[in-house]
Structure 1
Amino acid sequence: MDKSASDRRSFIKTITAGIPVMATAPLPSVAASSSVPATPGRVRLSCNLYSFNEPLVNKSMTLEQVLAFCADTGFAAVDPTAYYFPGYPVLPDDSYTYLIKRKAFRLGLDISGTGVRNDFTLPDPTRRKAEIELVRQWIGFAAKLGAPVLRIFAGKNVPEGHTREEVTTWVVDAIGVCTNYAAKQGVMLVLQNHADFIETADHVLTILKQINSDWLAPNLDIGSFKIGDPYADIAKLAPLAATWQVKENLFVDGQEVQTDLGKVVRIVRDSGYRGYLPIETLGKGDPRQKVPAFFEKVRKALYDA
């Protein structure tokens, strides 16, 4: 044994020698209590606030009201997209950012992430540079808000007259610059598959492999794989995912069907993922009804898994 290890053991013995040994019976485990349900592991539910897009856009609900609703529903966290902050794409005043941060904290909600609109597939290099600056600014916003991740996109498509390989180079270069900046701010960038330039898990992996940074990971959007078997793509990206978007429906061979939540949860479990599982409801209907209903379905799937 080296001297440093011996010193550490001696120190531990010294500080523990003065701690009295409790003579009481061991405490019962939490799991043994009949009043406490079995836990679903370390996966916690967050609400992606795009679920409230309509009332937020038409201003029938404020961002603060949506936070309170999510807390009352039972969410552990929220994911407020950047364009629900006043003035987007211009950054909001710090006082408002901190108001939302404090509001979430007082409600017992974590901020599991936020997101920004961007397009790195634009053929004009000047416009791509502007998109990089947009993402850089909102990385700083995420750091102030206390969001551990910022969702970004690759872009919309392959412009006419260009090849996928060429556009991938643009995307990789732009995301690489943003990732380096994000690392300095302590914010992870999460690349969302969005059935646009990125259609498959392999498209995501191609970009991740070329950038090769611990500060870039997938935002796994289960509803945006529209080619073939989405569960295969979900399983391929799951071990790398830093956050998710779990939706009511997904696409099997291009056909929209109801999500098999049991299958998704098993993939989450098998991947070893521990963190927030943001859910997102889409389509017609009042989110004040749709969100709690889907929340209960996902929570049940987690407990049943």
Structure 2
Amino acid sequence: MPKLAVFPKAFMNALCKDGTMTVSEWISLACDLHVDGLEWYAGFLEMADKTKWSEFRKQVEQHGKQIPMLCCSPDFTHPDALFRNKEIEKQKRWLEMTSALGGSFCRVLSGQRRPELSLTEGVHLAAECINACLPYAQDLGITLILENHYKDDFWEYPEFAQKMDVFCELVDQIDHPNFGVNFDPSNAFLAGEEPLELLYRISNRVVTMHASDRYLISGTIADLRKEENGTMGYAKRLRHGEIGKGLNDYDAIFKELRRVGFNGWISIEDGVDGMDQLERSVAFLRKKIKTYWPDFD
């Protein structure tokens, strides 16, 4: 049956840049929620100290939770082969981090959509790098999950495989038991596309999911797409919001996931307006999951 996790979307700067929140403080906040686990991020400042990995796992497990997924952002579309090899080594270290945390899923991305990169070359480079990581993932018993991503918080350019056709082509290039898809419905809107159309194309490859709802606080999707290239991080007109009050049709999403026998982790990206909002999103998703998986507790 599906299980719920939470991701500290509202606290990324505090945990990853200025250090105004400790990982232990986030654990205490998140473990008060009615969820089963905490999705981790490789870029937490304190994760630079490898000796803390097992300590954080112990803290989470003492609350009766687990760390099922690690979120990280390899850049496999760089034109320099030496740079790509370093990214492969980073991904392998993140796989080790996932294992130390007790996780089973580690995110992987294609890389940045650099203007000079052709479609054919980008798919080839990303697939080559992901395939290079898969034997190590298999040795550790971890599944690499490719997300239909928009843009890493700290990247200059958007995701290379942001568009549906490119994403599906890349997924089709990788056939391995330790590879699957992390589906994020909100990110499809940012590509100017319909999330359900994407889901119907790749639902049999989905093993985990990011649950969120997105809003544009000004302008239109077309405005966002005009300004996304060359903008560091997320566009200013974009924001996350309470799940169930945005654009996503969670009834249709869960109906399709139930149809294909999905039983993976659903990680919530929310809470930008406070923990009360995150609690409401948790309650919304538990109710919906109970509808489509009646034996879910």
TM-score bin (small chain): 0.7 to 0.9
Instruction: Tell me which of 50, 55, 63 is aligned to 1:99.
Output: 55
Please, what TM-score do these two structures have when normalized by structure 2? 0.79
Give distance in 2, aligned partners of 1:214 and 1:87: 28
Q: For 1:217 and 1:59, how far apart are their aligned partners in 2?
A: 33
Distance 2:64 2:11 in 1: 20
Matched with 1:263 is 252
User: What do the CA deviations read for 1:61-86 (whole angstroms, capped 9, x no partner)?
Assistant: 32122222222111101111111142
The correspondence of residues 88-127 of structure 1 with structure 2, limited to 5 A, is 88=48, 92-94=49-51, 96-127=52-83
Q: Indicate the residue corresponding to 1:5 in structure 2.
A: none
Q: What code does the residue aligned with 2:21 have? A: M
Q: Would you say 1:219 and 2:182 are equivalent positions?
A: yes
TM-aligned CA deviation for residue 51 of structure 1: 4.2
**Structure 1 residue 228 corresponds to structure 2 residue 165:** no
> Offset of 1:265 from its aligned partner?
2.0
Letter aligned with residue 273 of structure 2: G
Q: Which runs of 5+ in 2 are unaligned?
A: 151-158, 223-237, 239-245, 293-297
Deviation at residue 183 of structure 1 after TM alignment: 1.0
Structure 1 counterpart of 2:8:
49
Contact 1:238 1:268 in 2 (8 A): yes
How far is the alpha carbon of 1:276 from its aligned partner? Answer: 1.4
User: CA separation in 1, counterparts of 2:96 and 2:41?
Assistant: 14
Measured after TM superposition, the shift of residue 233 of structure 1 is 0.7
Q: Is the 8 A contact 1:201 1:237 kept in 2?
A: no
Partner of 2:118: 163
Match of 2:132 among 151, 166, 177: 177
Q: Which runs of 5+ in 1 are unaligned?
A: 1-41
Aligned-pair CA distance for 1:303: 2.5
In the TM superposition, 1:2-81 aligns within 5 A as 42-57=1-16, 58-81=18-41
- CA shift, 1:191, in A, is 0.8
Q: 1:130 pairs with 79, 86, 89, which one? A: 86
Residue 144 of structure 1: CA displacement?
1.3
| Partner SS for 1:143 | helix
1:26-57 CA deviation, whole Å, 9 max, x = no partner? xxxxxxxxxxxxxxxx1121112334324434
- Checking the alignment, whether the CA contact within 8 Å between 2:47 and 2:53 is kept in structure 1 is no
Give percent identity, aligned residues only: 20
SS at match of 1:219: strand
Tell me, what secondary structure is at the counterpart of 1:132?
helix
Instruction: For 1:175, give the aligned amino acid.
Output: I
Q: Per-residue deviation at 1:188? A: 1.0
In structure 2, the CA distance between the partners of 1:272 and 1:85, relative to structure 1 (3 Å rule), is: farther
Give the count of matched residue pairs.
256
Equivalent residues of 2:123, 2:166 under 8 A apart: no
Pair 201,228 (structure 1): closer, same or farther in 2 beyond 3 Å:
closer
Residue 279 of structure 2 aligns with which residue?
Answer: 292
What code does the residue aligned with 1:269 have?
R
1:139 is aligned to: 95
TM-score by length of 1: 0.77
Q: Which amino acid aligns with 2:289?
A: L
Residue of structure 2 equivalent to 1:6: none
Superposed CA RMSD in Å reads: 2.2
- Is residue 150 of structure 2 the alignment partner of residue 190 of structure 1? no
Q: Deviations over 1:100-157 (max 9, x none)?
A: 1111111011111102221111111111111111111111111111110110110111
Which segment drifts farther, 116-125 or 219-228?
219-228
Q: Would you say 1:249 and 2:205 are equivalent positions?
A: no
SS at match of 1:217: strand
Residue 127 to residue 86, structure 1, CA distance change in 2 (3 Å): same
From the superposition, tell whether residues 270 and 254 of structure 1 become closer, same or farther in structure 2 (CA, over 3 Å).
farther
Compare CA radii of gyration and give the structure with the larger one. Answer: 1
For 1:199, which of 162, 172, 180 is the aligned residue?
162
> Could you tell me whether the CA contact under 8 Å between 2:23 and 2:46 is conserved in 1?
no
